[in-house]
Amino acid sequence: MEDLLEGLNRAQREAVTATEGFVRVIAGAGSGKTRALSHRFAFLVNELGILPGNILCVTFTNKSAAEMRQRIHRLTGDDDTGYINTFHGFCVSVLQEDSHAVGYPKSFLVLDNADIDAMLQMIYEERGLSLRDMTFRAARDMIEIRKLFKEPEYYRDMLSLSLDALKQRYLDAVQAKDIIFYGYLYQEKKCFALDYNDLIEFSLYIFRTHEDIRLKWQKRLEYIMIDEFQDIDGLQYGLMEVLCGYHRNLFIVGDPDQTIYTWRGADVRYLLDFDKKFPGTKTILMMENYRSAPEILSAANSLIDKNRTRIKKELQPTLPSGSPVICHFAQTQEAEAEWIAGEMKELHEAGTPYRDMTVLYRAHYVTRAVEEALLAEKQGADYLGVGAVFPTSSKSDVGEMSYETLKAICKAVSIPVVAIGGISGENVGKLAGSGICGVAVISAIYAAKDVKAAAADLKTTVKEMLRA
């Protein structure tokens, strides 16, 4: 036991040894929660004699799960690390064992984005849709939102309707969004395929309708641990609630100050109200930070304290003091970039290698596009063609570029920028103020009945847009 607890602080030790009942750990950033989780798993195996196959540890990403398995293997020396999965990964295990309950084979297909796009391509070709109707990315988002919020009972149709009946619903659909949605459900059923939403919905359906299967999994999973609990959604919460229903040993770790997936249905109240849902919950605060200097923590504590939806806490530094935190407000993107470049130059001249500097930004795609534009200009380009700025069937392999990215590119380079992709007389006005000097079109002219008139009209509209 001493080996497993050695080097842990008081809160970490408490988390590792609090094995029974409902336990909520509020773990601040950099507080060593992954270490606590892995040591707790090893403690259950080595000290309590629990078989790894009777423990479920849910992580938020496959990468985190792989890291957790490696840590636990080093601590236990056992190749069997039980169920260390994401929610979706665990549901794959459930369905591979009990897919007969929904009439699916054990070899069902789990869809990734490439698989979904292939299905969408078939639907678009079969029903005469194009990317003007809806891009693949928008279609994927629409399907997910519809499954999660608008038609949460969709899975019942997938299970109860015959393949012919589901196909007919698809063929009867008129609006593009309905054609895509029901066509997708039809393609899923035809291929015995499930996406990430289906995995949890189907597992929950099995647990609701087959008491014997539910009880089997409940008895098997004596101890359940869930990481990043602040980012779970309603379906994941429902699955957790079912699984812990027999042994009632549930250990959750999260931080309401770090929730990032509310846009996808995550609800931090599941973490905040956990003790109300499960009376007798033991709450442990892990506040010692091993990652950042006191100056950074002070700034972070001051900022996050303004949040209303949180548990009152304050991270405690363990590292020595470092450089002061500087907050700089720039009037423009160009001024901001110039200031950052100046700071990096000063650091470099003072002896700090560039490889030891990191620049964080809100959206990677913005910088990538701008970097490519700057490189093209440096290599001697006379002008840039940038897009696709709107959905277009002629560039199906190219994603849409946001207005903000287009504007950033125009500001970053001194050579002319021409917008391309899906441009028509109806939407070109949306590009006003972006900084472009013109547009390039194909379909807007050649698809028109009167090419000459279409070209003249578009020319006039573009001139008005550039003056705006």
Average pLDDT over residues 410-422: 87
Q: What pLDDT band is residue 363 in, cutting at 50, 70 and 90?
A: low
Q: Mind listing the pLDDT tens digit for each residue in 100-135?
A: 999 999 999 999 999 999 999 999 999 999 988 999
116-130, 162-176, 237-251, 391-405: least confidently modelled range: 391-405
Structure tokens, 209: 């309708």
Picking from 185, 224, 223, the residue whose alpha carbon sits closest to that of residue 201 is: 185
pLDDT for 267 equals 92
Distance CA 298, CA 312 (A): 15
* CATH class for the domain made up of 2-92+202-290: alpha beta
Q: Boundaries of CATH 3.40.50.300 in the chain?
A: 2-92+202-290
Here the tokens at position 28 are 């601040």
Whether the upstream peptide bond of residue 388 has omega within 30° of 0, thus cis, is yes
Q: What average pLDDT score do residues 355-380 get?
A: 75
Answer whether residue 399 shows pLDDT above 80: no
Of 2.40.160.60, 3.30.2010.10, 3.90.550.50, 3.20.20.70, which CATH number belongs to 364-467? 3.20.20.70
* CA–CA dist 46, 195 (Å, integer): 37
User: What is the predicted pLDDT for the residue at 354?
Assistant: 83
Q: Which helix (H) or strand (E) holds 439?
A: strand 438-440
One-character DSSP codes across 285-328: EE-EESSS-HHHHHHHHHHHTT-SSS-----EE-SPP-PPP---
CA distances from 343 to 19, 76, 86, 338, 431 (A): 49, 47, 41, 9, 34
Mean pLDDT of 420-440: 90
Of the listed ranges 37-51, 99-113, 444-458, the least confidently predicted one is: 444-458
Segment 129-170, tens digit of pLDDT? 998 899 999 999 999 999 988 999 999 999 999 999 999 999
Q: What token pair was written down for 39?
A: 């040591």
State how far the Cα of 104 lies from the Cα of 358, in Å rounded to an integer.
48
* Cβ atoms 407, 432 nearer than 8 A: no
For residue 315, the SS3 value is coil
Nearest Cα neighbor of 388 from 371, 369, 375 is 369
Residue 46: which of 13, 16, 25, 14 has the closest Cα? 16
Contact in structure between 23 and 251 (CB atoms under 8 Å) = yes
Phi and psi at residue 336, to the nearest 5°:
-65, -45
Average pLDDT over residues 46-69: 94
Among the residue ranges 284-288, 354-358, 360-364, 459-463, the one predicted with the least confidence is: 360-364
Per-residue confidence band for 351, with pLDDT thresholds at 50, 70 and 90: very high
Tell me, what's the pLDDT at 284? 97
Q: Confidence class of residue 394 from pLDDT cuts 50, 70 and 90? A: low
CA 190 to centroid of chain Cα atoms: 28
Tokens 């994941």 belong to which residue?
236
Domain ranges in the chain with CATH number 3.20.20.70: 364-467
